[in-house]
Structure 1
Amino acid sequence: MSEPAIDYAAVFQALPGGVMLLTPRFMIADVNEALLWRAGREHGQLIGRYLFDVFPDNPDDPDASGVRNVKASLERVLATGVRDTMPLQRYDIEAPGRPGVFEERYWRPVNAPVLDAGGRVVLIVHRVEDVTEIVRAGALDRGADRDRMEAELYTRARELQEVNERLRQAHAREREVVLALQEAMLPAPRPVGHHRAAVRYRPAVGALNVCGDWYDLAELPGDRMAVAVGDVVGHGLDAACVMGQLRSALSAATLVAAGPAQALEVVGLYARSVDGAESTTAVQAIIDWTTHTIAYSSAGHPPPALLHPDGTVELLDRATDPPLGARPEHVDRPEAHAAFEDDAVLVLYTDGLIERRREDIDVGLARLADALTRHRHAGPEELADALLAELLLPGGATDDTALVVIRL
């Protein structure tokens, strides 16, 4: 005898704790009966509305921080795909039927992601436990010592929130400095000869998860172009400085090297003398329009993608070696060649474009190939924008992303 099917919608409504389903834009998708009862709201007053429009901070409380704290937690869930349990929050809400009148309320919130098959956060489960009565009972019935303890805990929680906010602001200022340095060191988008190319850099979500990635394009004699991307391990100012050194070294080596393998060998030797350059990955391709061939070599980097005019995608993965400076002794790096037809597209990128937490890299490469095939008729600028829109997580990636798209 088969087991009866579980009515999960009925289970959701019967949950004893207040639960709300939010979209990645923090719009309310659904609520259960327990939350409606605790909040004193009707179902139609919440569905389809922005969370913080329905539950704003108390405008009469200058210290109100409920919106800021809850929003920060939700953004962490979007960025990491990991559950976030919040400390006790005072978050006053408007009294039912009394606009502008706020009731003092205390909550214990937990925010948990719902992921799709690609690892994207498609919903956030926002569960709240109303502990207002417990907090008040502690103040009224458990004596002066317990009352002082509750007040001390609440004060310490407020102080911790203030410290976290100051740290966030300091990190935000440092992030601005790092991004300005990154912008100054990376070449500005410009035409390379008569060839159509598009470049993109997207910083990661988070204060300092930026500036390990770079790209570079350069014209070479004989209707040739050198294009490269790389990824320094680490983030922040140190990574930005290492990135600038390695990008400049590779750009200089390209002008005198016999090909991309030799250029990466030179930079690999140089990387051994640069603190923080260990395990940097990079890939370089030299495009020759006279012979319609691409010479390439990779130092532990994800493979470039060659989109042929018929929509098939070829991953250039036949010349991959360990990252820069990883070998204790010098070994010649491999180099391979691929042929292309007019109107093909070459795409180089860093791992932020394809990698997802708890997902095999082949899944991300397949996702990239599918997007390239579907957008194969787009120009470089439109294709670059489409790839970022489709492949980066809705709440932003946890690693920065560099992308180069060239129509051949």
Structure 2
Amino acid sequence: MDEKAIDYEAVFQGLPGMVALLTPELVYVDANEDFQRLSGRTRDQLVGRYIFDVFPENPNDSTATGMRDVRASMLRVVATGERDTMALQRYDVEDPLRPGEWEERYWSPINAPVFGPDGKVVLVVHRVEEVTELIRLRGGTGGGSRARVLEAELYTRARELQQVNERLRQAHAREREVALALQEAMLPAHRQVRTRRAAVRYRPAVGALNVCGDWYDLVELVGGNRIGVSVGDVVGHGLAAAGVMGQLRSALTATSRVADGPAQALDVLGRYAHVVDGAESATAVTTFIDLDARTIAYSSAGHPPPALVHPDGRVEFLDRATDPPLDARPDPMPRPEAVTAYTSGATLVLYTDGLVERRHEDIDTGLARLADSLVRHRTDDPEPLADAVLLELLPPGGATDDTALVIVRL
């Protein structure tokens, strides 16, 4: 089928509803047929003229604010490059056939930017919905009049709520971008610890704000051929969670270097979390791997258990040293610690709950799904193994919680 050029001028004129284009100086460039018809102005009376020369404020209404509000909205669009949905406006219009006579009119405007090749706003799209008949009280009093008043009030509140929601969405989107950038800057990049092969992954939640609370760390320990591997999860999201995450990760990294074992490291971290706003109920699990003795000492503060995949395909969940989350007890107590052995070629996997937890599903189902994936791909190197696990366990459209994953070949 041959493609034909689209007549965008015809499309613009045929748009349902009132739509006009203005320059950043608020001069009309064009107006569609509905705009001309409902405003009572021809195209010649509009194009090339300043908007408020065509539609000045009603001089007979000392309380009128329509011109000020519309100007502020349009200039805000030009300055920020963001769409602006206005609250319901009363903006009276002079009758073109009877100069000096003003009609009470109500409008619901939305202003949006059009960008040029350099990214600057070159036009403002001014879309207006005429709602005068909805607002104006006609034909009698009593119940019918009251119903119209209530309907008008509900419509006004709905438009105001729409405007608030749009601004919240834009603010949340900006916060998400900043928080993810901060998260990326604070998490350690992919690296090898001593001679061990390791893969790390972080996947933010898709279409949600539950981002930037998950973290991971790999650190070389003091004394002997040992490494520490940890993951954690901060309750909350956005910039606040990213900041708390950075504090806890850095504290655990420093503590692990001098602690006698993972339990002591988490014990000190829990005491530190007590004085960090936003660290309440954060979870973490840390493992100390002795590469010469081929043992893994571990301790968990309310976190899902690490998985140890043995070369023969057996999966061992390290769940014999689990304790409440950080700062969960008013009076801290020593945390439990357990040790397990491994053989050369085993794989240690640490992760956050976004990988295995699903709404309306028991956690054991997610752990079984993880074990199955790890067994089938156990001979893969850590990098492709990490990709395979994420592909098979995360929902196709993305998870509703962020996910951290660390895989170390022992």
TM-score by length of 1: 0.63
1:246 to partner: Cα distance: 0.9
Q: Identify which of structures 1 and 2 has the higher relative contact order when contacts are C-alpha pairs closer than 8 Å and 6+ apart.
A: 1
Could you list the per-position Cα deviations for residues 98-147 of structure 1 after superposition, in whole angstroms to 9, with x for gaps in the alignment? xxxxxxxxxxxxxxxxxxxxxxxxxxxxxxxxxxxxxxxx9xxx989789
Question: Residue 363 of structure 2: which of 353, 361, 364 is its match?
Answer: 361
The 5 Å alignment of 1:259-408 reads 259-408=261-410
Tell me the secondary structure at the aligned position of residue 240 of structure 2: helix
How far apart, in 2, do the equivalents of 1:246 and 1:260 lie?
A: 15
Contact 1:174-1:208 within 8 A present in 2 as well: no
Amino acid at match of 1:306: L
Task: State the partner residue of 1:13.
Answer: none
The 1:147/1:323 distance shift into structure 2, 3 A limit, reads: closer
Tell me the secondary structure at the aligned position of residue 217 of structure 2: strand
Contact 2:220-2:257 within 8 A present in 1 as well: no
Task: State the partner residue of 1:195.
Answer: 196
1:319 to partner: Cα distance: 0.6
Where does structure 2 lack aligned partners over 5 or more consecutive residues?
Answer: 1-12, 20-133
Could you list the per-position Cα deviations for residues 241-283 of structure 1 after superposition, in whole angstroms to 9, with x for gaps in the alignment? 1111111111011111011011111111111111111111100
How far apart, in 2, do the equivalents of 1:252 and 1:238 lie?
A: 22
Amino acid at match of 2:188: P
Task: State the partner residue of 2:116.
Answer: none
Amino acid at match of 2:166: E
1:292 to partner: Cα distance: 0.8
1:165 to partner: Cα distance: 2.7
Identity value in percent: 72
TM-score by length of 2: 0.62
Where does structure 1 lack aligned partners over 5 or more consecutive residues?
Answer: 1-57, 65-137
Tell me the secondary structure at the aligned position of residue 257 of structure 2: helix
Task: State the partner residue of 2:186.
Answer: 185
Amino acid at match of 1:189: H
Runs of 4+ residues over 2 Å off in structure 1? 58-64, 142-166, 205-208, 220-223
The 5 Å alignment of 1:6-85 reads 60=15
Contact 1:168-1:207 within 8 A present in 2 as well: no
Could you list the per-position Cα deviations for residues 21-50 of structure 1 after superposition, in whole angstroms to 9, with x for gaps in the alignment? xxxxxxxxxxxxxxxxxxxxxxxxxxxxxx
The 1:255/1:59 distance shift into structure 2, 3 A limit, reads: farther
Task: State the partner residue of 2:108.
Answer: none
Amino acid at match of 2:267: E
How far apart, in 2, do the equivalents of 1:185 and 1:251 lie?
A: 13
1:166 to partner: Cα distance: 2.6
Amino acid at match of 2:371: A
Contact 1:229-1:284 within 8 A present in 2 as well: yes
1:164 to partner: Cα distance: 2.4
Task: State the partner residue of 1:21.
Answer: none
Amino acid at match of 1:292: R
How far apart, in 2, do the equivalents of 1:289 and 1:62 lie?
A: 72
Across the aligned residues of Structure 1 and Structure 2, the Cα RMSD in angstroms comes to 2.6
Match status 1:224 vs 2:179: no
Task: State the partner residue of 1:172.
Answer: 173
Instruction: Say how many residue pairs are matched.
Output: 276
Larger Rg computed on CA atoms: 2
Contact 2:208-2:400 within 8 A present in 1 as well: no
How far apart, in 2, do the equivalents of 1:303 and 1:63 lie?
A: 60
